[in-house]
Amino acid sequence: MPHSTSPTSHSLGEVAAANMTEVASRNGDGDITMGGTDGDDKKDVKLEDLFADVDSDEEFPSSRQDEIKPSSPIAAPLSPLGNGGGISSSDPQLLRMFYQRLFPFRYLFQWLNHSPTPTNDFAHREFALTINDASGNEIYLRYQSYPTADLIRKDIVARLPTRFEIGPVYTTNPRDRKSLRNQNSFKPLSKELCFDIDLTDYDDIRTCCDKANICLKCWQFMTMAVKTIDAALRDDFGFRHILWVYSGRRGAHAWVCDKKARVMDDQKRRAIAGYLEVIKGGAQSGKKVNLWRPLHPHLRYFQEVVKQSKTKEKLTKIPSHSRSLDILAPHFQTDVLSTQDPWSSSSRAEHLLSLLPDRTLNDSLRKKWDSSPGRASKAKWGDIDTVAKSGASKSLDAKALLEAKQDVVLEYTYPRLDIEVSKKLNHLLKSPFVVHPGTGRVCVPIDPGNLDGFDPTGVPTVQELREEIDNWKPDEDGEGGEGGGGKPPADWEKTSLKPYIEFFRSFVLALMRDERDPKIKRERDEDEGMEF
C-alpha cells in the first residue's frame, strides 16, 4: 500500500526539501506512454581530466549529522544472512563505511549522466531506495532524484539503503511530478536496455545446486548465457557498450548503454527481447524449445556445420562464427553432459526421451538404459545416434531427430531470460556496486572478455573489504599511490574491489567518448530509426 514519507531534517538542501515521495510496489506503475528525448547540451570538457589523481570520492565527505527516518514502515522485518565475524551485511555502521569510503559514486554519476558535467540525463533519473526503519521494517522509496554526484552520495550515506535501484530518465525531475498541471506529461524518456538472468530458472536442469545456492559448476550456465546474449547484442544489433554485472548471489544483469538502446520504446524493447527468447515455460512444462525451421542465423551455426560436414563443403556460408549453437555446443558436452550429468536417474532420462520424435526409438533407448542402471548422461546422448543407426525404428525421420537434438542442446544451454525486465522502459534494476543483503557480496561488473576467470564465490563481501582496509599497509617506500607522487591511494584501491572499479571506470570513459564523438553520433542517429 502507498505511504507518504517525509524527512526529519532538511540539512540536504534541495534534495531533502523535495523529498515528498511514495513507497511503491517494485513492479512499477504499469505501462507508461513513451516519449522522445530532450537534447541537453553537453559542455566541452576533456574526458582525460575526469580521472586525474586529484579526483577522488573523498572530495564528497558526508556533512550530514541527522538521520532521515521514514514515517511509515511497511513489509516484514529484513533478516539478512550474517557473515564475516557475525556482522550482518546490512549493519548500519558497515554500510556507512562502504558508502563513504568504497562506493564509486563519481563513476556511477558519469555512467548515467553520459558527461562529466551535470545534465538532465542524471538529474531527471529515478532512483528507488530500500531502507530499514528503527524496527527493522523494510521501506521502499521511489522517485528519488539527484542533480549531482555530491548530492546522491550525501543522501545515500544519510539513509544507508540496503540496496538501491535505477529507473528511467523522465521528462521532468521525478520529485516534481505531483506539481505538474498535466500529470500525463510525466513520462519516461530513456533507460538502458536491461536483461536479467537468474540461476533459479535452471533448477530443472542443474543437479549440483538449487534455489539460492550456487557453485562454480552451475555458474557455467551463467557463463554460457553471457557469451550468447553478448554476442547477439553486438553482432546482430551493433551495440557496443554492454555492462554485465553480478547480482550478488545467483545471477547477472546486462545494461546496454548505447544511446540507440536507451531511447527505444516498449515496442522495440519487446521485439529485441522476443528475438533473444528461446526457452519458454516453467520447470513443470514439457518441451521448452519450439522453433521454426530453418533456424535463424542467431541460432543455426550448428545446423550449417552438420550439413556442410556431410557434403564436405568449405565453411564459407556460415552467417557468423559466434552464433549460439557454436558457442553452446562445447559447453553442452563438458558442463552439461559430463559435469551436471542431467539424465543419470530414470525420471530425468524420461524427460530426454519425451523430447525425441520417434516412439519406437524411445522404447529401444529405454530398454537399453534400464538394463544399465547408472549409465552416464554422455553415454546416453551417444546412444541416441547409435540406436538410430541400428535400424531399431523403420519409420524414423532423420531430419526430425536432428532437429530434436538441436532443441535439446538449446534447452540445456541457452540463456533463460527474465523477459519482463527487458520489455519495459520504466522497469527498475538494482544498481551496480550495491551490497547484496543476503550474501554481503558486492554487485561487481563482469568482464565479458574474461568470463572463465570470474568466480562468484570469490567476489569480495563488504565484511572482507572492511578487513582489507584495516589491514592495508603502504609500500615500503612510504608511497601508497601508483604514480610515484606520494599521493595516498583511495580506499577502494586498498581492497580487492580495485580491479572491478577500474574496469567500470574504463567502461564509463569509453561510453562518454562515444557520446561526444560527432561521427558516432551521426551513425547512432541514423540507427535510431531501425525497424523491427
Asked if 196 is an active-site residue, the reply is: yes
The answer to whether 192 and 256 are in contact (CB under 8 A) is yes
CB-based contact 204:221 (threshold 8 Å):
no
Whether cis (ω within 30° of 0) applies to the bond prior to 445 is no
Q: Which listed residue (57, 196, 407, 468) is catalytic?
A: 196
- For residues 219-228, one letter each, b for 16 or more C-beta atoms within 10 angstroms of the residue's C-beta and e for the rest, the string is bbbbbbbbbb
Cell of 198: 537468474
Neighbours of 521 (CB within 10 A): 13
List the one residue out of 428, 525, 429 whose CA is nearest residue 32: 428
CA distances from 48 to 44, 55, 486, 509 (A): 12, 11, 21, 8
Strand order in the sheet with 193-198: 193-198, 251-256, 242-246, 445-446
| 115 CB-near residues (< 8 Å, 6+ apart) | 42, 43, 45, 121, 512, 515, 516
**Nine-digit cell string for 526:** 541514423
Half-sphere exposure of 348 (CA within 13 A, CB side): 20
Question: What is the C-alpha separation between 205 and 232, in angstroms, rounded?
Answer: 24
Q: Exactly one of 57, 126, 230, 335 is catalytic; which is it?
A: 126
Helix locations, 238-300, DSSP H? 259-262, 266-276
Task: Answer for the pair 447, 500: CB distance below 8 angstroms, yes or no.
Answer: no
* CA 93, 97, 98, 100 torsion-angle sign: positive
The active-site residue, picked from 198, 230, 304, 326, is 198
Nearest alpha carbon to residue 238 among 529, 527, 5 = 527
The answer to whether 247 and 212 are in contact (CB under 8 A) is no
Kindly state the DSSP code that residue 80 receives in the 8-state scheme. Answer: P
Cβ pair 431, 165 in contact under 8 A: yes
* Residues designated as active site: 126, 196, 198
